Structure 1
Amino acid sequence: MKQEIITYLSTLKNDLFKLARYLYNNPEESFKEYKAYNYIISLLKEYNFEIKENYLGINTAFYAQYGNSYPKICYICEYDADPYKGHISGNNLVSTMSIGAALSLSKVISKTGGSIVVLGCPGEYINGCKTTMVKQGTFEDIDVVLMAHPHVITTNTLPSMSVLPVKIKFDLDNNTPINCCSSLDSCMLTHNFIDLVNKNLPKGYKIQNIFTNGVCNSYSLYSKCESNYLITTPKIENSYKILEIIKSFISLISNIFELKCNISIYQLPYEEMILNENLCRIFSHNLKECGIINISSSNETLPGLSIGSVSHILPCINPFVSITENASIGYPSQAFGKETLKDFAINNTMKTIQALSLTGLDLIQNENLLKEIKQEFNHKKKQEK
């Protein structure tokens, strides 16, 4: 079976790198990836995948499936780009890796049973839609999610923090005296308080101000002001505890200065990534067998990944795989984007595709292996409670 997948994958190389080049040459901003969306679903249809287009009412999202039994192995495509700089983080290769793995594994599904799911997840640069898919139950019928991300290093794991996006808005009450504290004053008081909280948080915790804006009335008094913050912590419940502290302070100053205040979570939060060591081990073994030997444990914890929320529903991996010969190239950057089309990137992407596909095959063929992975997942979920 494995040799059949490897042989078939070699015949797909031209199609896969037409895809990588097409995405690179046609970068599209988040949730407007119409060219990428149409190209990818046309390719999947050509290989007999059944497609649910405009999935969950999201214009550039899709759900594709090949096969009708279990287990279900899911591969995820991301295809948006920086609106000004293009594919600086290599999402053109994220999609290429996932599509390649799905197509090559589909070659043996009629013999092994199981199913392959490919999810098209637009908008990764601005919160993405994986968290929406989690809320809508997309992953409840899937067994594992396998994906990899191009980078300048190769890691066997990729941990990430939780991220809670919070908006704080102040409005002057109609009866507030003109010489009273403005909404901007209250906003700045809040910012100073949050800065003080920040300085006393444990290592790895952070509250980041990413946006502040005010509106003046005819008396040059700021009648409205709002700020957006990202609360980043190792576990999402800690972020909510910090939010309660902020709410208490804001309630106090809004009462003192007779201001209306609204605190909201303006985007779906990212939960922290739950690592599945068994799944990481199997993929790393296959990656080495495919020729990528130098795999390190990640010393970096990313500030937030949308797949983190998915990892609370089912076992997932999303490791880095190096596609550059020069590890000093900046990531993300336009220089890194150019690397995605070079021969070294093409060769390592094909090796990664093979490893993703063979990992899917291992999980379909070996019931005990999949059982161990799910037992680890369930054990870690129980530890959280």
Structure 2
Amino acid sequence: MKQEMISYLHTIKDDIFNLSKYLYENPEESFYEYKACNYIVNMLKNNNFKVTEKYLDIPTAFYAEYGSGHPKICLICEYDAAVKEGHITGHNLISSISMGAALSISKVLDNFKNGTVIVLGCPGEFASGAKVTMAKQGTFNDIDSVLMVHPDIEYYETGTSMALLPIKIKYTSEGSHSCLDAAIFTFNALSSLKNNFDLNCSLDSINIKHCDSSSLYLKEAELSLYIKAPKMIQACKIEKKIKILCKATEDLTEVACEMSMHELPYDELIPNHALSRIFSHNLKEIGIIDTVEPKNIFTGLSLGTVSHLVPCLHHYLKITDDSSIKYGTLAFAKATISKFAEESVLKAAIALASTAIDLIEKEELLQEIKVEFYETIKNHQEKPCEA
């Protein structure tokens, strides 16, 4: 079965590489990925996938499926690019890897009594990723596992990410008191408050926006920031302190403070070690044996929210053999269409497809990752944030 998938993948490797190259040459910013979405959707339709376009009324999102019944294995496509910089984080390759895996799975899936492969088009990862909206709308409630591979400068197993809570404070004044003064007061107080946070918690990207710069006595202003923490429950504790600070600001400055979220929050990523082990084994089967320790990142991932609902894989794939190239650079973007990247994508697609088939074919493996998931999720129970 797996050999049949591998053979098929080699017959379509040019199509997969052409997808990578097309996305690289046509970078589109978050939620405007019309060319990318159309290109991928057409590939899926030409391979007999049932495709729902404009999924959840998001113009550049899609939901595609092949097969029937459970297990339902979901592969993620991301395809937005950084504004004016292109695919510096390799989202073009995320789509290529998932598409290569999905198409090869579809060629053997009819050999099983039950099983569905789902390809989920997730736009806007650079701008409060659509996966969070999909999670809240129930997209993942009927899915057994979510798999994706992210390009990097090294091979890493799935690690953790930070919980990310975006906060906005809007200041309004009806009298002679300046909103700018109130915002600066809050800013200075936050700088002192940071010293009392739990380890690894932080406030990032604090920004004061003047809504009317024609007067020193501003009637409106905004302060925005991101709370980062290892767990969302810690971020929520910091949020409560900021609410207390907002109330104190109102009392002291006589300026109204309204607190809200300016983007969707990201939960921390919960790794599934059993799922990582299965995928790492399949990587070794095709010759990638130098996978190192899990990669814990100090920023947020939209997949973090999904990982609280369903077991998730988020491995990292080395796509360049040039050690001077750094992740998130123009050189890294160019490396996504190199020969080395092309070969890496093919191997990752094989490992991803093999992992999906393992979960469809071997009930005990799927049961193992689900048992770990439910045991782990108990330790992450928390109240939702209030802002």
TM-score range, shorter chain: over 0.9
Q: How far off is 1:219 after superposition?
A: 4.8
Query: What is the match of residue 355 of structure 1?
Result: 351
Cα contact 2:272–2:369 (8 A) shared by 1: yes
55-64 or 261-270, which deviates more = 261-270
Give the Å deviation of 1:301: 2.3
Give 1:203 shift: 2.4
8 Å Cα contact 2:326/2:332 also seen in 1? yes
CA distance in 1, matches of 2:297, 2:124: 22
Match status 1:376 vs 2:372: yes
Residue of structure 1 in register with 2:105 after alignment: 105
Contact 1:292 1:348 in 2 (8 A): no
CA distance in 1 between counterparts of 2:263 and 2:215 reads 34
State the secondary structure of the residue aligned to 2:126.
helix
Provide the residue aligned with 1:147 in structure 2.
Answer: 148
Which residue number corresponds to residue 163 of structure 1? Answer: 164
| 1:184-333 superposed matches below 5 A | 184-216=180-212, 219-333=215-329
Contact 1:217/1:223, CA 8 A, preserved across alignment? no
Structure 1 residue ranges without an equivalent (≥5): none
1:179-216 deviations in Å (ceiling 9; x for gaps): x4x11111111111111122232321111134321134
* Corresponding residue number in structure 1 for 2:129: 128
SS of aligned partner of 1:297: strand
Residue in structure 2 matched with residue 367 of structure 1 by the alignment: 363
Aligned residue type for 1:137: G
Match of residue 13 from structure 2: 13
d(CA) in 2 for partners of 1:216 and 1:38? 41
- TM superposition shift of 1:354: 0.3
Name the structure 1 match of 2:50.
50
Q: Secondary structure in 2 aligned to 1:139?
A: coil
Match for residue 26 of structure 1? 26
Relative to structure 1, is the Cα distance of residues 219 and 4 closer, same or farther in structure 2, using a 3 angstrom cutoff? closer
Letter in structure 2 aligned against 1:132: T
Change (3 A) 1:216 1:238: same
Match of 1:60?
Answer: 60
Q: Structure 1 CA distance, aligned partners of 2:94 and 2:325?
A: 18
Alpha-carbon distance, 1:364 to partner: 0.4
Q: CA deviation at 1:218?
A: 6.1
Shift in Å at residue 342 of structure 1? 0.8
* Secondary structure in structure 2 of the residue aligned to 1:35: helix
Structure 1 residues 51-79: Cα deviation after superposition (integer angstroms, max 9, x where no partner) = 00000000000000000111001000000
Give me the whole-angstrom Cα distance separating, in 2, the residues matched to 1:85 and 1:78. Answer: 16
* Cα distance in 1, alignment partners of residues 376 and 22 from structure 2: 40
Provide closer, same or farther for how the CA distance between residues 280 and 218 of structure 1 changes in structure 2, counting only shifts above 3 A: closer
What one-letter code is carried by the residue in structure 2 that aligns with 1:183? Answer: C
**Alignment partners' CA distance in 2, 1:96 and 1:271:** 26
Q: Deviations over 1:142-163 (max 9, x none)?
A: 1000100011011112310100
Q: Deviations over 1:241-294 (max 9, x none)?
A: 111111111101212222111000122110000110000000011111111111
Return the letter of the residue paired with 2:116: S
Query: Residue 193 and residue 70 in structure 1: after superposition, are their counterparts in 2 closer, same or farther (change >3 A)?
Result: same
RMSD: 1.2
Unaligned runs of 5+ in 2: 382-387
TM-score by length of 2: 0.96
CA contact 1:209–1:227 (8 Å) conserved in 2: no
Aligned to 1:86: 86
**Which 4+ residue blocks in structure 1 deviate beyond 4 angstroms?**
none
Q: Percent identity over the alignment?
A: 46
